[in-house]
């Protein structure tokens, strides 16, 4: 079974702090994704990556950056957290680029910025 | 623009009743189609997927979905729901390397 793990289930940070959300997958997947999920808005793609050191902007990249130094790990960074970044963050991975494989999701990190 | 629409934000059914969750997509060509389920406090889990071939797709947990090209729909069904099916359900479509999720339908089960 594919396993996608996220470093924290719940996180509380203060406005202006730098926040790191870590995601690790154990199935050698090429693709990794970061979404945020808000009530009534569904899942919105923040960033994705098809390979190590490669990243692409999704639909809402503003205020976020990412890092993929190793194939199994994809980090989401909030350079200066703001209250409007309070949300559920979901990481996902899928097998390969340019093929329609399903995504496997982690359990999510609920981030609160105060 | 490409889109996935789930017209129902909330649906309530009685335990043991049948269920149908609606999903419509708008794409130039037929995309790959998925249904995911999210239990409270959890990530999303794949229920089933449609790539091609038989338009009736069987998934896990007793769910099935039917692809109808003429209606641009991919509705999810279950003949008899259980209290454990209470969750949020997401339809998704993937074409040209970009997956789009619907906004979700929250399913409530009455005892």
What mean pLDDT comes out for the span B30-39?
93
Length of chain B: 111
Q: Do A108 and B34 touch (CB under 8 A)?
A: no
Rg (CA), chain A: 13
* pLDDT score, position B99: 84
Structure tokens at A58: 């999704």
Burial B12-49 (b: 16+ CB within 10 A, else e): ebeeeeebebbbbbebeebbbbbbbbbeeeebbbbbbb
Please state, in angstroms and as integers, the Cα–Cα distance from residue A65 to each residue in A91, A109, B31, following that order.
Answer: 14, 16, 29
CA angle, A53 then A57 then A59, to 5°: 155
Contact A114, A12 (CB under 8 A): yes
* pLDDT score, position A97: 62
Backbone dihedral angles phi then psi of residue B83, each to the nearest 5 degrees: -55, -30
* pLDDT score, position A96: 74
Q: Do B97 and A105 touch (CB under 8 A)?
A: no
CA distance A37 to chain B (A): 10
Q: Do B43 and A43 touch (CB under 8 A)?
A: no
pLDDT digits (tens, 9 = 90+) for B50-93: 988 889 999 999 999 999 999 999 999 999 999 999 999 999 99
CA distance B39 to A33: 20
Q: Do B104 and A42 touch (CB under 8 A)?
A: yes
* pLDDT score, position A38: 93
Structure tokens at B98: 């970009």
Q: Considering CB atoms only, which of A45, A98, A105 is closest to B44?
A: A105
CA distance A31 to chain B (A): 11
Q: Do A106 and B43 touch (CB under 8 A)?
A: yes
Q: How confident is the model at residue A2 (pLDDT cuts 50, 70, 90)?
A: low
A105 touches chain B (CB under 8 A): yes
Closest chain A CA to residue B49 = A102
Q: Which residues of B fall below an 8 Å CB-CB distance to A?
A: 9, 32, 34, 36, 41-46, 49, 51, 90, 94-95, 97, 99, 101-104
């Amino acid at each position: 079974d594919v396993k996608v793990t996220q470093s924290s289930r719940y996180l509380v940070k203060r406005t202006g702090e730098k926040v790191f959300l870590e995601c690790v997958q154990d199935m050698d997947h090429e693709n990794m994704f970061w979404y945020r999920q808000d009530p009534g808005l569904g899942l919105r793609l923040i960033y994705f990556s098809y390979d190590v050191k490669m990243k692409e902007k999704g639909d809402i990249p503003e205020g976020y950056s990412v890092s993929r130094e190793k194939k199994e790990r994809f980090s989401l960074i909030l350079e200066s957290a703001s209250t409007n970044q309070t949300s559920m963050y979901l990481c996902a991975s899928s097998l390969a680029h340019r093929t329609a494989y399903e995504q496997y999701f982690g359990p999510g990190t609920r981030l609160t910025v105060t | 623009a490409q889109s996935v629409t789930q017209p129902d934000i909330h649906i309530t059914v009685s335990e043991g009743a049948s269920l149908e969750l609606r999903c419509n997509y708008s794409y130039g060509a037929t995309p790959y189609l998925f249904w995911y389920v999210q239990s409270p406090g959890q990530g999303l889990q794949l229920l089933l997927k449609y790539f091609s071939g038989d338009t009736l797709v069987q998934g896990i947990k007793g769910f099935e979905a039917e692809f109808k090209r003429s209606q641009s729909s991919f509705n999810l069904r279950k003949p008899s729901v259980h209290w454990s099916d209470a969750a949020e359900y997401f339809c998704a479509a993937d074409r040209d390397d970009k997956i789009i999720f619907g906004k979700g339908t929250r399913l409530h089960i009455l005892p």
